[in-house]
């Protein structure tokens, strides 16, 4: 007496492709690695991979936070400024207090990021300012705060305690310390998005904001949380930035948001919200970093990198949106045609 529910086949195929998006990126990543290993000398060396890992770790950490925001159908463009602010705070604190444990410093950086993120959340969720505008404004505001605090002065490597300067270069178990942080954040982030009920709400909000509200989900609170996390992780990214580059100036982190958004978009996190995973964002970040590293080693102009980032976003968004549009349209028409012919048959009997 039960009813067989069908998933209409062609839709099922495309659906599978979508769900295996992460697999697709992984394949692309593997191919990229193979390609550059062959064509570029010095690519497949431990030293090079250490460099890639160290740099991409910062992107990954911030991308995890950005993923949460994008899931709710918003965007956070202020992460670059938050990274700069937190980086400066980290360096400055350590310059003045050589004995400060690194963990505390990192916590301080995250706290600053958290405050910035809450600011963003208030503007978007409470102030109802479109996220693109709000975070464009806070991008400038937080950068301005950084300037106020620094008075235009840098923190120089010579002022920093040795343990901090050595931190980024350490490789416990052969893996750079920053990469360990990234792995940790990715694992925790992925776990939270999978297991925490309030994080699952991000998906619902991004997928259908009205239905989410109707279902009783406190959307304002959730969106604020997403921005808060994004800010906090950007703060951690700032700490890592300071560890990596030692000398922190006023323009630290400028343009960083583009790297992060590119990673997230390529990683299959839908700009409309509702779908995407931390794994995807991580793979996306890795793919972008690898390609850029490969470009450098192949002596391809620096400037192709910037173009590539932007072009990648346009291409990925275009393809994603086109596929979804066509799929939905086809599904709708096919279903209705089925119904009409089924009805005609019934009428004739």
Partner 1 sequence: MSGLGRAVWRVVARWEVILIVLIVATGIWSATLSSFFLQRANLLDLLTPYIFLGLLAFGLTFVVIAGEIDISVVSTMAVAAASFAHLWNAGVNVWLAALAALVVGTGLGLVNGLLIGVLNLPSLAITLGTLAAYRGLAYLILGGEAISGFPTSFTNIGGGYIRNELPVALLVLCAFALVLGLLLHATRFGRYLYALGSNREAARYSGIPVTVVRVTVFALAGLMAGFAAITYLGYYGSVQADAGSGSELIDVVTAVVLGGVDIFGGSGSMLGVLLALILVAELRNGMQLANVSGATQDMVIGGLLIAAILAGNALRAAQGGRLRIKRAGSRKEVTQNSQLDSPVQATIET
Partner 2 sequence: MATQAPPLIELRGLSKSYGGVQAVADVSFAIERGSVHALVGENGAGKSTLVKLLTGVIQPDEGDIAINGAVERIADPQAAHHLGIVAMYQEPTVFPDLTAAENIFAGRQPLGRVRTVDWRGMRAEAARLFGELGVDLDPSVPVRGLGVADRQILEIAKALSSSARLLIMDEPTAALSPNEVDNLFKTVRQLRDRDVAVVFVSHRLEEVGAIADVVTVLRDGRHVATRPQTELSHGEIVRLMVGRSLDQLFPKEEAEIGDVVLRVEGLGRRGVFSNVSFELRRGEIVGLAGFVGAGRSEVARAIFGIDRADTGELSIEGRRFRPRSPRAALSRGLAYLPEDRLQQGLVQPMSIAINTSMAVLPDLTPGGVLRPRRERALARRFMEQLRIKATSPAQVVRGLSGGNQQKVVLSKWLAAEPRILILDEPTHGVDVGTKADVHRTISHLAAQGLTILLISSELPEILGMSDRVLVMREGRLVAEFTRAEATQERVIEAAAGVREVAA
If one asks whether residue 221 binds partner 2 (CB under 8 A), the answer comes out as no
Four-residue CA torsion sign, 265, 200, 109, 105: negative
If one asks whether residue 129 binds partner 1 (CB under 8 A), the answer comes out as yes
DSSP 105-146: HHHHHHHHHHHHHHHHHIIIIIS---HHHHHHHHHHHHHHHH
If one asks whether residue 311 binds partner 1 (CB under 8 A), the answer comes out as yes
Q: Half-sphere exposure (CA, 13 Å, Cβ side) for 183?
A: 8
Separation of alpha carbons 69 and 52, rounded Å: 26
Give the contact letters, 99-128, x = binds to partner 1 (CB under 8 A), - = no. ------------------------x---xx
278: nearest Cα among 196, 349, 169? 196
Binding-site member from 38, 148, 210, 299 for partner 2 (CB under 8 A): 210
| Residue count, binding to partner 1 (CB under 8 A) | 60
What is the rounded radius of gyration, in angstroms, for the C-alpha atoms of the chain? 23
Contact 37, 44 (CB under 8 A): yes
Separation of alpha carbons 223 and 121, rounded Å: 7
Contacted by 19, from partner 1, partner 2, none: CB < 5 to 8 Å by type: partner 2
If one asks whether residue 330 binds partner 2 (CB under 8 A), the answer comes out as no
If one asks whether residue 329 binds partner 2 (CB under 8 A), the answer comes out as no
Contacted by 275, from partner 2, partner 1, none: CB < 5 to 8 Å by type: partner 2
Contact 90, 74 (CB under 8 A): no
What count of residues does the chain have?
Answer: 349
If one asks whether residue 337 binds partner 2 (CB under 8 A), the answer comes out as yes
Q: Which stretch binds partner 2 (CB under 8 A): 10-18, 78-86, 154-162, 180-188?
A: 10-18
CA dihedral angle for residue 317, residue 262, residue 146, residue 244, rounded to 10 degrees? 170
* Shortest Å distance, C-beta 334 to partner 2: 8
- Cβ neighbour number for residue 277 with a 10 Å cutoff: 19
If one asks whether residue 221 binds partner 1 (CB under 8 A), the answer comes out as no
Binding-site member from 14, 136, 165, 183 for partner 1 (CB under 8 A): 136
Which long-range contacts (C-beta less than 8 Å, at least 24 apart) are formed by 305-312?
Answer: 309/258, 309/259, 309/262, 310/258, 310/262, 312/262, 312/265, 312/266, 312/288
Contacted by 127, from partner 2, partner 1, none: CB < 5 to 8 Å by type: partner 1
If one asks whether residue 213 binds partner 2 (CB under 8 A), the answer comes out as yes
Binding-site member from 43, 55, 60, 73 for partner 1 (CB under 8 A): 73
Binding-site member from 32, 93, 159, 208 for partner 2 (CB under 8 A): 208
Per-residue burial over 299-332, b = 16 or more CB atoms within 10 Å of its CB, e = otherwise = eeeeeebeebbeebbeebeeebeeeeeebeeeee
Contacted by 100, from partner 2, partner 1, none: CB < 5 to 8 Å by type: none
Q: Which stretch binds partner 2 (CB under 8 A): 8-16, 20-28, 39-47, 149-157?
A: 8-16
If one asks whether residue 298 binds partner 1 (CB under 8 A), the answer comes out as no
Separation of alpha carbons 279 and 194, rounded Å: 11
- Cβ neighbour number for residue 198 with a 10 Å cutoff: 13
If one asks whether residue 196 binds partner 2 (CB under 8 A), the answer comes out as yes
If one asks whether residue 195 binds partner 2 (CB under 8 A), the answer comes out as yes
Cβ distance to partner 2 smaller for residue 149 or 211: 211
Instruction: Write out the residues near partner 2 by the rule CB under 8 A.
Output: 1-8, 11-12, 15, 19, 194-197, 200-201, 203-204, 206-208, 210-217, 270, 274-275, 331-340, 342-343, 346
Instruction: Write out the residues near partner 1 by the rule CB under 8 A.
Output: 73-75, 123, 127-134, 136-141, 143-148, 152, 208-210, 213, 250, 255, 258, 261-262, 265, 271-272, 301-315, 317-318, 321-322, 324-325, 328, 332
């Amino acid at each position: 007496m039960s009813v067989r529910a069908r998933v209409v086949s062609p839709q099922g195929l495309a659906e599978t492709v979508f769900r295996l998006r992460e697999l697709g990126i992984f394949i692309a990543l593997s191919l990229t690695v193979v390609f550059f290993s062959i064509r570029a000398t010095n690519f497949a060396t431990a030293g090079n991979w250490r460099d890639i890992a160290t740099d991409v770790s910062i992107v990954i950490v911030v991308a995890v936070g950005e993923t949460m925001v994008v899931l709710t159908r918003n965007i956070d463009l202020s992460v670059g400024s938050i990274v700069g602010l937190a980086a400066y705070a980290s360096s400055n604190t350590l310059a003045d207090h050589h004995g400060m444990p690194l963990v505390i410093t990192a916590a301080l950086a995250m706290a600053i990021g958290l405050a910035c993120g809450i600011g963003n959340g208030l503007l978007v969720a409470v102030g109802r300012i479109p996220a693109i505008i709000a975070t464009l404004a806070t991008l400038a505001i937080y950068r301005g705060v950084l300037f106020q605090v620094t008075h235009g002065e840098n923190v120089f490597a010579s002022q920093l305690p040795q343990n901090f300067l050595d931190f980024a270069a350490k490789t416990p178990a052969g893996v750079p310390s920053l990469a360990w942080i990234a792995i940790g954040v990715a694992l925790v982030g992925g776990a939270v998005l999978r297991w925490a009920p309030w994080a699952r709400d991000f998906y619902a909000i991004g997928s259908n904001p009205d239905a989410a509200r109707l279902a009783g989900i406190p959307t304002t609170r959730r969106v604020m949380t997403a921005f808060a996390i994004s800010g906090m992780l950007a703060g951690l990214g700032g700490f890592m930035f300071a560890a990596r580059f030692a000398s922190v100036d006023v323009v630290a982190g400028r343009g960083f948001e583009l790297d992060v958004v590119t990673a997230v978009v390529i990683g299959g996190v839908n700009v409309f919200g509702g779908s995407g995973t931390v794994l995807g964002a991580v793979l996306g970040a890795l793919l972008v970093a690898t390609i850029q590293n490969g470009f450098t080693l192949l002596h391809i102009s620096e400037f192709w990198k910037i173009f590539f980032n932007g072009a990648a976003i346009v291409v990925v968004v275009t393809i994603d949106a086109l596929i979804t549009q066509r799929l939905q349209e086809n599904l709708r028409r096919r279903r209705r045609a089925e119904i009409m012919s089924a009805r005609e048959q019934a009428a004739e009997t």
